[in-house]
Chain A
Amino acid sequence: MDALTIPPVDLGLIAPLLVVVTWATGLLLVDTFFIPVGRKKLTGYLAIAGLVVAGLVGLPLWGVSGSTFGGMVRLDPFALTLTWVFLLIGILSITMSLDYLPRQDIEQGEYYPLIMFAVSGMILLAQGADLIVLFLGIETLSITLYILTGFAYPRLTSEEAAMKYLVLGAFAAGFFVYGIALIFGATGSTRLSEIGAYAADRDLGDTNLTLLLGGAAMVLIAFSFKAALAPFHMWIPDVYQGSPTPVAAFMSVGTKGGALAALVRLLFEALPTLNAYWLPVLAGLTALTMVVGNLGAIAQMDVKRMLAYSSIGHAGYVMLGVMVAGEQRGPEAFIFYILVYALSNLGAFAVLIALEHQGEEAWQLDDFAGLYQRQPLLAVAMAIFMFSLAGVPPTAGFMAKFYALTAAWEGGLPWLALVGVLTSAIAAFFYLRVIIRMFMTEPEGEPAPELNRGLTIDIVVAAAGTIIIGLIPAPIFALVERSAVALGG
């Protein structure tokens, strides 16, 4: 038989991904054989080191564009910047887990490599240029998260959350695969660029194009589920509430960032010519998401659930950037929003963790009463995060929202920008409610919660980032502007 000729592979283009994956695999072994039970924090530090190294390895790749593995994966500044954001999300999530896990008595060394695998799935989503790769990226991320959601396993809520997430997630994965099959049947390819070229050649009304649209619709459903766009958001509050808090924090920013990064590529590489079809649908979903998420949050007295609904609302604002990613502003707004939302939201979850005692849940609004008198720094940090999530200047959240709304306005969706403004006004109510509880009510005799090192670092970094990006956004603007250039067409 003929010798196999493997198409040229440039491993350099997926260097950060490779580092994360190999480090995680190695760490699994190191953790099993060398790190004694009770000192598993060491595994966590090693995992953080791995993510940092992956970020450093990415530095020389700045400005490089190219694809490898026969066009299956692509590296461009857009993917690289997102990779860095994802690595940051991973690092912050691990830092806040370091003390949480032993405190909840659920510490196991495998936790940290699993977070790394989840991050690798997100990177794959940012780099994927082929439907099969995107599917595998989503599955890597999801399967890891199913496990992490159930990580507090004997706790019933955790088990329930994992079960719900698994069943619904598998359902969404089914939609994805059906969609890929239909698209492949129509176009004969799973490569995003080839699908795009095929669609550009056909006239509307072509049977194959109809088939392609059907497949695309199914894939969009799967993405909407992962990114929690209404009406595919039902699972979010229960899953967030039940899963360990750092996992919920990771999930809220991780799945959103990964899935929507892939969606940007799908929409603007494979389906740009069909935007007359998908734009109204996605715009409707986005409007509904912003309304449902923010109205739903008002009714919540449980802060963790409130953050879950707020994360649905924020998915809507991120989508504003995604839908107009054909323009220069779109991807810029997308990356900027993901970064800012990651900082503010991870910070807010870290504060929740700080308030949690062992096995106890301290997520009710009343638990925040008079926090300022008990723990002034914690209260101030939480206030910063709440202001940022609500989009109040001078925090980064304001900049991000402003960016996303202008992008939508300039991109030809002014009505959607208006919906965004109105829903943000509604959202301010429930974010400010937390602040009022913290500063203007008397404490109810709760002992001051203890802050430990990992959490302190986390909260300080997130709060400082939120404020600094809010005050001097210029360097980040410059970064996202240069990242978005390559996506242009």
Chain B
Amino acid sequence: MELILFLITALIAIVGAVAMLVSRNAVHSALFLLLNFAAIAVLFLLLQAPFLFTIQLTVYAGAIMVLFLFVVMLLGAEKVEDTPDRIAWQQPLALLLGLALLVVSVVVGLGGATNPPPESEALIQFSDPRTLGALLFTDYLLPFEVTGFILLIAVIGVVVLNQRGRKI
């Protein structure tokens, strides 16, 4: 049952990634990336990491993708002109590095298969959203609140700098 679920989501993730690469319209690319993110979120769920699942959905699929779409649409960059790459060696290099990454991950994956990680109850407990949330409100209370202020400052900064530009 788990294997079937895994195969389906993995397939969706790969299809999403490939479609993102080949589609000529930047908005379509972004939407395919969204599909890919969602599929990966489900994979996290299968790995019993519910916290990563929610983070993947809210932060990546939610916030970051919306930002991407905004920028793409604001800049009117949805249509790609066929300009030749200015840096000629970029493509072969990317291919080479990609292959190297694939090889490494296969080697590590095979090595890991002979030595499976221990099923750890503690580890699952540790990544439990409830535990993490509790930590934020107990041990990490001060950093949590300071972060809030940093975000406030950033918001003020955006407003301040924008007002100035408009007035002149």
Stretch at the interface among B17-25, B64-72, B100-108, B141-149: B141-149
- Is the C-beta of A140 less than 8 angstroms from some C-beta in chain B? yes
Let me know if A4 and B142 touch, CB within 8 A.
no
Residue of A nearest to B158 (CB): A147
- Minimum C-beta distance from B140 to chain A (A): 7
Complex-state Cα separation, A40 to B140, whole angstroms: 37
Q: A136-B146, A153-B165 are in contact. Are A147 and B139 (CB under 8 A)?
A: no
A481 to B134, CA, bound (A): 42
Is A1 among interface residues, defined by CB-CB distance under 8 A? Answer: yes
Of A49-57, A106-114, A311-319, the stretch lying at the interface with chain B is A106-114
By a CB distance below 8 angstroms, the chain B residues around A25 are 152
Expressed in whole angstroms, the Cα–Cα distance for A39 and B141 within the complex equals 38
Interfacial chain B residues near A120, Cβ < 8 Å: 149
* Interface secondary structure of A, over-half rule: helix
Interface hit among A68-76, A245-253, A274-282:
A68-76
Contact with B along A101-125 (1 / 0, CB 8 A): 0000010101001100100100010
Report Cα–Cα, A69/B160, bound state, in Å: 33
Assembled-state Cα–Cα distance A4/B137 (Å): 8
A9 near B141 (CB under 8 angstroms)?
A: yes
B150/A143 in contact, CB under 8 A: yes
Measured in the bound complex, the distance between the Cα atoms of B7 and A21 in whole Å is 52
Q: Which of A128-177 contact B (CB under 8 A)?
A: 130, 132-133, 136-137, 139-140, 143-144, 146-147, 150-151, 153-154
Q: What is the CA–CA distance of A320 and B113 in the complex, to the nearest angstrom?
A: 54
Q: Are B164 and A136 in contact (CB under 8 A)?
A: no
* Contact A147 B150, CB 8 Å, known A6-B137, A72-B143, A133-B142: no
Interface residues of B in 94-146 (CB under 8 A from A): 130, 134, 137-143, 146
List 6 tightest A-B contacts by C-beta distance, closest first.
A147-B157, A69-B142, A153-B164, A136-B146, A154-B168, A110-B160
Give 26 A-B contacts (CB < 8 Å), ordered by A residue.
Answer: A1-B130, A4-B134, A4-B137, A6-B141, A9-B141, A69-B142, A73-B142, A106-B164, A108-B160, A108-B163, A114-B153, A117-B153, A120-B149, A124-B146, A133-B143, A136-B143, A140-B146, A140-B150, A140-B153, A143-B150, A146-B157, A147-B153, A147-B160, A147-B161, A153-B164, A154-B164
